[in-house]
Amino acid sequence: MTFVKRTELQMFDGRQIFYYDSTPVDRTAIDARPFEPRPLPGDMREDVLTGEWVAMASHRQGRAFLPPKEFCPLCPTKSDFGTEVADNNFEVVVFENRSPSFSAPSDQLPPETIQTLGRCEVVAFSDHHEGSFGSLDFAHMRTVLAAWIDRTREISKLPYVEQVFVFENRGEEVGVTLNHPHGQIYSYPFITPRTSKMLQVAQAHFDKTGVPLITSIIDREINDQVRVITQNEYWIAYVPYAARYPFEIHVAPKVFVPDFAELSEVAADAFPEIAKEVLLRLDGVFGIPMAYIAAWHQAPVRKGRDVLGLHWQITSVRRAPGKLKYLAGSESAMGVFIMDVKPEASAQQLRDVQL
Amino acid sequence: MTFVKRTELQMFDGRQIFYYDSTPVDRTAIDARPFEPRPLPGDMREDVLTGEWVAMASHRQGRAFLPPKEFCPLCPTKSDFGTEVADNNFEVVVFENRSPSFSAPSDQLPPETIQTLGRCEVVAFSDHHEGSFGSLDFAHMRTVLAAWIDRTREISKLPYVEQVFVFENRGEEVGVTLNHPHGQIYSYPFITPRTSKMLQVAQAHFDKTGVPLITSIIDREINDQVRVITQNEYWIAYVPYAARYPFEIHVAPKVFVPDFAELSEVAADAFPEIAKEVLLRLDGVFGIPMAYIAAWHQAPVRKGRDVLGLHWQITSVRRAPGKLKYLAGSESAMGVFIMDVKPEASAQQLRDVQL
DSSP assignment of B243-271? --SSEEEEEEESS--SSGGG--HHHHHHH
What is the length of chain A?
A: 355
CA-closest candidate to residue A315, choices B195, B177, B334: B334
CB contact under 8 Å between B329 and A167, yes or no, is yes
Query: SS3 of A323, please?
Result: strand
Which of B182, B250, B297, B311 is catalytic? The answer is: B182
The torsion angle over the Cα atoms of residues A47, A53, A54 and A57, rounded to 10 degrees, is 140
User: Could you tell me the pLDDT band of residue B317, with boundaries at 50, 70 and 90?
Assistant: confident
Q: What is the chain B residue with the closest CA to A194?
A: B334
How distant is the Cα of B25 from the closest Cα of chain A, in angstroms? 33
Range with the poorest average pLDDT among A151-155, B75-79, B325-329:
B325-329
* Identity of the residue in B51, B198, B330 whose CB atom sits nearest the CB atom of A186: B330
CB atoms inside a 10 Å sphere around CB B280: 13
The torsion angle over the Cα atoms of residues B78, B84, B86 and B90, rounded to 10 degrees, is -90
Secondary structure of chain B as H, E, C letters = CCCCEEEEEECCCCCEEEEEECCCCCCCCCCCCCCCCCCCCCEEEEECCCCEEEEECHHHHHCCCCCCHHHCCCCECECCECCCECCCCCCEEEEECCCCCCECCCCCCCCCCCECECEEEEEECCCCCCCCHHHCCHHHHHHHHHHHHHHHHHHCCCCCCCEEEEEEEECHHHCCCCCCCEEEEEEECCCCHHHHHHHHHHHHHHHHHCCCHHHHHHHHHHHHCCCEEEECCCEEEECCCCCCCCEEEEEEECCCCCCHHHCCHHHHHHHHHHHHHHHHHHHHHHCCCCCEEEEEECCCCCCCCCCCCCEEEEEECEEECCEECCCCHHHHHHCCEEECCCHHHHHHHHHHCCC
| pLDDT on residue B323 | 81
| pLDDT on residue A69 | 84
Q: What is the count of residue pairs from A and B with beta carbons less than 8 Å apart?
A: 221
How distant is the Cα of A25 from the closest Cα of chain B, in angstroms? 33
With beta carbons less than 8 A apart as the criterion, state whether B333 and A313 touch.
yes
Strand partners for A8: A18
CA-closest candidate to residue A272, choices A184, A149, A141: A141
How distant is the Cα of B29 from the closest Cα of chain A, in angstroms? 31
With beta carbons less than 8 A apart as the criterion, state whether B318 and B213 touch.
no
**What are the pLDDT digits (tens) for B262-277?**
999 999 999 999 999 9
With beta carbons less than 8 A apart as the criterion, state whether B342 and A54 touch.
no
User: Could you tell me the pLDDT band of residue B84, with boundaries at 50, 70 and 90?
Assistant: very high
Q: What is the chain B residue with the closest CA to A346?
A: B58
Helices (H), A225-342: 265-286
Name chain A contacts of B299, Cβ cutoff 8 Å: none
User: Could you tell me the pLDDT band of residue B325, with boundaries at 50, 70 and 90?
Assistant: confident
| pLDDT on residue A68 | 83
Which of A59, A140, A180, A182 is catalytic? The answer is: A182
With beta carbons less than 8 A apart as the criterion, state whether B321 and B286 touch.
yes
**What are the pLDDT digits (tens) for B106-147?**
999 999 999 999 999 999 999 999 989 999 999 999 999 999
* Identity of the residue in A46, A195, A217 whose CB atom sits nearest the CB atom of B242: A46
* Identity of the residue in A186, A194, A333 whose CB atom sits nearest the CB atom of B293: A333
Q: What is the chain B residue with the closest CA to A343?
A: B56
| Residue A307 DSSP label | T
Summary mean pLDDT of chain A = 94
Mutate to test the interface with B, among A46, A52, A54 (most CBs of B within 10 A): A54
Residue A65 reports pLDDT greater than 80: no
Calpha distance A246→A320 (Å, rounded): 9
With beta carbons less than 8 A apart as the criterion, state whether B253 and B267 touch.
yes
- Per-residue burial over A287-303, b if 16 or more Cβ lie within 10 Å, else e, is eebbbbbbbbbbbbbeb
**What are the pLDDT digits (tens) for B221-261?**
999 999 999 999 999 999 999 999 999 999 999 999 999 99
Residue B31 backbone phi and psi in degrees, to 5: -80, 105
Tell me, what amino acid is at B37?
Answer: P
CB contact under 8 Å between B339 and A198, yes or no, is no
CA-closest candidate to residue A128, choices A72, A67, A211: A72
Query: SS3 of B168, please?
Result: strand
Q: What is the chain B residue with the closest CA to A50?
A: B198
Tell me whether residue A140 is one of the annotated catalytic residues. Answer: no
Residue B65 reports pLDDT greater than 80: no
What is the percentage of chain A residues whose pLDDT exceeds 70? 98
User: Could you tell me the pLDDT band of residue B324, with boundaries at 50, 70 and 90?
Assistant: confident
Calpha distance A217→B48 (Å, rounded): 8
Q: What is the pTM of this model?
A: 0.94
Q: Strands A318-320, A323-324: parallel, antiparallel or unpaired by DSSP? A: antiparallel
Mean pLDDT of B348-354: 97
| pLDDT on residue B341 | 86
| pLDDT on residue B47 | 97
Mean pLDDT of B290-296: 95
| pLDDT on residue A61 | 56
How distant is the Cα of B56 from the closest Cα of chain A, in angstroms? 5
Residue A173 reports pLDDT greater than 80: no
With beta carbons less than 8 A apart as the criterion, state whether A314 and A282 touch.
yes
CB contact under 8 Å between B336 and A55, yes or no, is yes
CB contact under 8 Å between A336 and B188, yes or no, is yes
* Identity of the residue in B50, B244, B335 whose CB atom sits nearest the CB atom of A201: B50
Residue A50 backbone phi and psi in degrees, to 5: -125, -10
Residue B63 reports pLDDT greater than 70: no
With beta carbons less than 8 A apart as the criterion, state whether B166 and B298 touch.
yes
**Distance set, CA B191 to CA A334, B148, B162, B194 (Å):** 9, 19, 6, 8
How distant is the Cα of A197 from the closest Cα of chain B, in angstroms? 6
Query: SS3 of B283, please?
Result: helix
Q: What is the chain B residue with the closest CA to A338?
A: B55
Mutate to test the interface with A, among B195, B334, B341, B349 (most CBs of A within 10 A): B334
Name chain A contacts of B340, Cβ cutoff 8 Å: 57-58, 60-61
**What are the pLDDT digits (tens) for A301-312?**
999 999 999 999
| pLDDT on residue B321 | 84
Mean pLDDT of B86-92: 96
Calpha distance B23→B175 (Å, rounded): 34
| pLDDT on residue A192 | 98
User: Could you tell me the pLDDT band of residue B5, with boundaries at 50, 70 and 90?
Assistant: very high
Residue A334 backbone phi and psi in degrees, to 5: -115, -15
Query: SS3 of A276, please?
Result: helix
| pLDDT on residue B102 | 96
CB contact under 8 Å between B192 and A168, yes or no, is no
CB contact under 8 Å between A51 and B201, yes or no, is yes
**What are the pLDDT digits (tens) for A285-328?**
999 999 999 999 999 999 999 999 999 999 998 888 878 877 88
**What are the pLDDT digits (tens) for A247-271?**
999 999 999 999 999 999 999 999 9
* Identity of the residue in A56, A329, A342 whose CB atom sits nearest the CB atom of B339: A56
* Identity of the residue in A46, A54, A340 whose CB atom sits nearest the CB atom of B60: A340
| pLDDT on residue B62 | 58
CB atoms inside a 10 Å sphere around CB B54: 24
| pLDDT on residue B64 | 65
Residue B117 backbone phi and psi in degrees, to 5: -75, 150
Q: Kind and range of the H or E element at A163?
A: strand A163-170
Q: In what order do the strands lie in the sheet with B43-47?
A: A337-339, B52-56, B43-47
How distant is the Cα of A184 from the closest Cα of chain B, in angstroms? 9
DSSP string, A8-56: EEE-TTS-EEEEEESS---------SPP-PPPPP-EEEEETTTTEEEEE
Q: Strands B337-339, A52-56: parallel, antiparallel or unpaired by DSSP? A: parallel
B279 compared with B178, residue with greater pLDDT: B279
Name chain A contacts of B323, Cβ cutoff 8 Å: 65
Query: SS3 of A148, please?
Result: helix
With beta carbons less than 8 A apart as the criterion, state whether A183 and A123 touch.
yes
Strand partners for B250: B238, B313
| pLDDT on residue A317 | 85
Mean pLDDT of B169-191: 89
